[in-house]
Structure formats: structure tokens, C-alpha cells
Amino acid sequence: MAADKFKKEIEKRRTFAIISHPDAGKTTLTEKFLLYGGAINLAGSVKGKATARHAVSDWMEIEKERGISVTSSVLQFNYGGFCINILDTPGHQDFSEDTYRTLMAADSAVMVIDAAKGVEPQTRKLFKVCAMRKIPIFTFMNKLDRDARDPFELLDDIENELGIPTCPMNWPIGSGRDFKGVYDRQRELIVLYSDTQKGTKEGHTEEIPLDDKDKLLKALGQDSFDKLMEDVELLDGAGSTFDQDEVDAGMLSPVFFGSALTNFGVELFLQNFLKMTSSPLARNSETGLVDPVSNEFSAFVFKIQANMNKAHRDRIAFMRICSGKFDAGMEVLHVQGEKVLRLSQPQQMMASERHIVEEAYAGDIIGVFDPGIFSIGDTVCAPNVRFVYEGIPTFAPEHFARVRQVDTMKRKQFVKGITQIAQEGAIQIFREFNTGLEEIIVGVVGVLQFEVLKYRLENEYNVEIRMDNLPYEHIRWIANKDIDLDKLTGTSDMKKVRDLKDRPLLLFINSWSIGMTLERNEGLELEEFSKN
Ligand code: G4P
């Protein structure tokens, strides 16, 4: 393939995640994006609360039952010459670990905020991960068609709560019943609000230049007009000025106001966002940065999902391609497994359907059939290059329970099921030091994951389990190599365990015990999370 075309394919890629607190409008915004890309016909039709809610991205039955999105999904569509990959992240606080990992595969993030509420707890958590990765963060201030908080206050909220300066790219004129539209600061014109566009993209928008005062006054009415003029003056002093370098470095968040539900300000946002984000970024490996346009194929596994299709009992490993081009049928090296193999049934999600991919480029996400060989964080690359991408951190679980199967005859299924679910990263499993898998301790980041575990073991593996909560709240991996765990003296409430990869670690009920244990064992090094 001509080098030029290859480069162009990568340059038109935009891979981002959408983050928000539940109910801020992430799903609605995603659906409107898909609508612009022509991936679905009528955005509103893919979602109808109880039955088909989240129909575009939901796979698991539990999601349908509960009406929440448990797993992150990936959608690809084309718009305006760009090839867009959206990583959907579940907003529910109990699924944060999966969400964190998904953010590792994104080059930028769109943060959706409910303008009536401002920054909420889940936004804060997710933002932290984005900030850790220093990726660009764009803000969509949603639901202006409803009564909203004062826009200046909302910007202050982001700056104070999240610690990132903001730059309003447009500015709302009123909200709720009095919502009149937005002022586009770059083009210096007013885009009038009309909710006739609800669910479709055909709506007609009227634009009035800021200096056409007569026309503006007529369109807005005296009160809104006066308020706008006042705001425009104040605006120059509010927020920071736009600086692309700062946006790139994740140190300035451009803010757009709009209403996803009535499809107002969405296309404007999408167009500007695409201009301000970059094509796939170089990624850090243990041997330095890997350039996406370098010709060799490489990718890393950021998510594993079993039993997406009950009929097939399949297990899919999701990979983010970081460099080069993937061709179906090509041979690749699975670095951690030290094996050259062909990726089987590579697929991508296109709106509601999965389809087999023939080729994919840096920035794209592909799902491949996984016969049980991949782990989260693994690197796959062209056989003639060998390197490992930086690991994805394992987040410390905060809740623990001892888990047993009710029917002892089902031991085998139980161990198989719980191990597979742990390999996916949905839960972490530990066994007590000096024992086998008779007793399994499960650690999760959010308690709802316990329920997911129970549900999945019953439905996918036909195993009923009993869970007893354990009082541990702190977990520490032992960093010292060659430690003799038998000789380690801790506190009476401390538990010595091993994880799935046989790494030794300690569970504690309180932080005081951690201090005591460190004091009693000179040279002991404890880590709060472990790199893969
Ligand atoms: P999420 O994925 O972030 O959890 O939020 P989602 O898009 O599901 O939106 C949550 C609720 O907020 C939905 O209402 C949705 O219709 C509504 N919503 C989203 N964007 C806007 C907006 O711009 N304006 C207004 N007024 N509402 C918005 P719901 O009643 O929970 O569901 P539904 O019955 O509308 O489907």
C-alpha cells in the first residue's frame, strides 16, 4: 500500500472515551454522534427506557435487567472525513475498574456534565484517571433545555473541583424555558435554539452575527439580549483563552454548552472537537515511545469479555492498535505468551452490529476471539519486532468476600468460572497462602461486582455460590523479590494471600496495621497497586 494512503488512514483516526456521572447524558450524546455519522437512522429509536435502553451498546443480560451499562463497548463510525472510535464507559460507580482500563485505550476524553448539577462524584473519579494519563479533556455541558446552574458557576466548579482551567468555546443564552441558544465565541455569532431537531439531524438552525443588534434583539427579547451583552463582556475575563498546546497536554478543557436530547449544539461540538483532537498518539513501551505511523503492527489488550454471545460461549479480547496496520490473517507475536499466532475472527462494532474486519489501523479497536491466552495489558505485535507496552495498573479492590460453591460436586465449573471472570478483570481473586483453590477470596472495586459475579456464575457456569463478606479494606502488594512470607510478622488481623499471578500480598482491616507491619519487618516494601 502506498505509504501516503497508510499515513492518511491513521491521521484520520480519532479514538476517544466519553465519561460522565450516570444520567448526565452520555448515552444520548453518543447516539447523536452516531446519527451524524449515519451509523443509525434515528437516534431516539435505539433507546426506550426499560426494554431497549442502551440497546446500542449492551451485551449482557444483566445490563438489560438493571438498565445500566455493565461493560464498556466500542463503536466506530465515519464523519466529515474522520474515522471515529468511541469507547463507551459505564458511568455506574461500581464498574469503575473496567472503565479505568478503557480510558487507557483512549487518546482523549469527552466529559459530559449535567448543567443543573455540575461536577458529580463519578465525573471526579474518571477525571482523575484522564488527568493521570494527561490526555485532552473536552467538556460538553448538557441539558441546557432544562433549568441549569449559572454558567460562570459551572466553569468555577470544574476549575475548583477538578483543578483544570476551562475555556468556554460557546456560551448559553438562558436555560430551560428561557433557553435561546448559544453564542459561538470563535465565529462571533448566535446560534438560535430550536428543539424541532429532537432526535433527527435535519433541524434548521438560524445564525445571527453578534453585531446585528436589531435582529438579535428581536430574536432574543430585551432581557435575554441584555444578559447576553453583559456576559459577552464578562466572558473575556472568565476562563482561560484557548491554547491548543495546553489542550493537547490535558491542561485546559474547552467547554461547549448544548442539549443532547434536543440535538442542539451536538454537531457544533463534534466538528470542533474533531479539529482540536489529534490522531492516534505515540504510546509508551518499555523500550520507549512507539510511533503509530511506524510500519509495524502493535496493539495491547485492554479488556476481555467472556460470553458476549451466550449461544457461542465466546470470549473476546479487545485490543487497541497502537501502531501500523492490521490485516486479517496476518501472523502476530503475542509477547507475553511467547507465541506467534493468527488473530482469529477479528471484529469491530458498528453501531449495533459486530462485523469481521479485513483491515484496521493504529487508533482502531478490534475484538478477537480469545481461546483463553490473553490477559489484560498484554502486547501483540508484528513477529519481527518485540517489545512490551507499559502495563495497565491493577486497581486495589476495596471490598472482599470469601466465596464457595454450594454444591461441592461443581468444584470444577466453579474454579473455571471464577478464574475466567477474574482473567477478564471484572473481579480479582486471591487464595490463602499455603493452600490451593479450596477457598477463594474475591476482591472488587465496587460491591455491585459481587452481584455480577453471582449472576454470571449461575447463568453462565451453572454454579450457585455462597459469599461471606470479609472485613478487609486495604490491600498491599509486596514489592520485595524473594520474600519469605512465613517469616513475615504482621498484626493479628492481617491476612497473607496470593493473587492470580501468584504474587504475594497482604490484606488489612485498617491502615494502622499497615504501619505496624512495616515497622515490624525492616526493609519490607508495600505497594498500593501492582503493574501488570
Ligand atoms: P447516561 O448515559 O449518562 O446515564 O445518561 P442518558 O443519556 O441515559 O440520559 C439520562 C437521562 O437524561 C435520560 O432521561 C435522557 O433522556 C435525559 N437527557 C439526556 N440529555 C438530555 C438533555 O440534553 N436534555 C434533557 N432534558 N434530558 C436529557 P430518562 O428519563 O432517564 O430516560 P428516557 O426515558 O428519556 O430514555
pLDDT tens per residue across span 169-178: 999 999 999 9
Contact (CB, 8 A) for 55 and 39: no
Delineate the domains of the chain, giving CATH numbers in brackets: 11-73+89-276 (3.40.50.300), 283-381 (2.40.30.10), 393-531 (3.30.70.3280)
Highest mean pLDDT among 16-20, 251-255, 283-287: 251-255
Expressed in angstroms and rounded, the spacing between residue 26 Cα and the centre of ligand 1 is 8
Contact (CB, 8 A) for 291 and 281: no
- Mean pLDDT lowest for which of 33-37, 284-288, 351-355, 380-384? 351-355
φ/ψ (deg, to 5) at 32: -70, -35
Nearest to 281 by CA among 370, 363, 343, 213: 363
Contact (CB, 8 A) for 137 and 164: yes
**Dist CA 377 CA 229 (whole Å):** 52
**CA-based end-to-end distance of the chain:** 36
**Dist CA 184 CA 419 (whole Å):** 53
pLDDT band at 56 (very low <50, low <70, confident <90, very high): very low
pLDDT band at 125 (very low <50, low <70, confident <90, very high): confident
Nearest to 100 by CA among 391, 454, 476, 361: 391
Among protein residues, the one with the nearest Cα to ligand 1's atom 33 is 49
SS3 content of the chain, % helix, strand, coil (to 5): 30, 30, 40
The whole-angstrom distance between residue 385's C-alpha and the CA centroid of its chain comes to 29
pLDDT tops 50 at residue 228:
yes
Among protein residues, the one with the nearest Cα to ligand 1's atom 11 is 23
Expressed in angstroms and rounded, the spacing between residue 214 Cα and the centre of ligand 1 is 36
SS3 at position 15? strand
Expressed in angstroms and rounded, the spacing between residue 148 Cα and the centre of ligand 1 is 15
Q: What average pLDDT does this structure show over 373-401?
A: 87
pLDDT tops 70 at residue 52:
no
Q: Which atom of ligand 1 is the closest one to the Cα of 22? A: 4
- Give the list of residues 6+ apart from residue 434 with CB closer than 8 angstroms, or none: none
- Give the list of residues 6+ apart from residue 486 with CB closer than 8 angstroms, or none: none
pLDDT at res. 397: 86
Among protein residues, the one with the nearest Cα to ligand 1's atom 10 is 23
Contact (CB, 8 A) for 103 and 130: yes
**Dist CA 525 CA 518 (whole Å):** 8
Expressed in angstroms and rounded, the spacing between residue 143 Cα and the centre of ligand 1 is 9
pLDDT band at 51 (very low <50, low <70, confident <90, very high): very low
pLDDT band at 70 (very low <50, low <70, confident <90, very high): very low
Number of H helices, E strands in the chain: 14, 31
Q: What average pLDDT does this structure show over 369-388?
A: 89
Nearest to 76 by CA among 125, 12, 20, 6: 12
Choosing from 28, 57, 88 the residue with most ligand 1 atoms within 8 A of its CB, the one to mutate for a pocket test is 28
Write the single-letter amino acid at 256.
F
Expressed in angstroms and rounded, the spacing between residue 295 Cα and the centre of ligand 1 is 43
- Mean pLDDT lowest for which of 98-112, 159-173, 434-448, 479-493? 434-448
Mean per-residue pLDDT of the chain? 84
Instruction: Report the 3 state secondary structure along 313-346.
Output: CCEEEEEEEEECEEECCCEEEECCCCEEEECEEE
Expressed in angstroms and rounded, the spacing between residue 448 Cα and the centre of ligand 1 is 23
Only one residue has cell 493473587, namely: 499
- pLDDT tens digits for 182-218? 999 999 999 998 865 555 555 567 899 999 999 999 9
Only one residue has cell 490485516, namely: 327
pTM: 0.79
Which is higher by pLDDT, 401 or 103? 401
Q: What average pLDDT does this structure show over 41-54?
A: 36
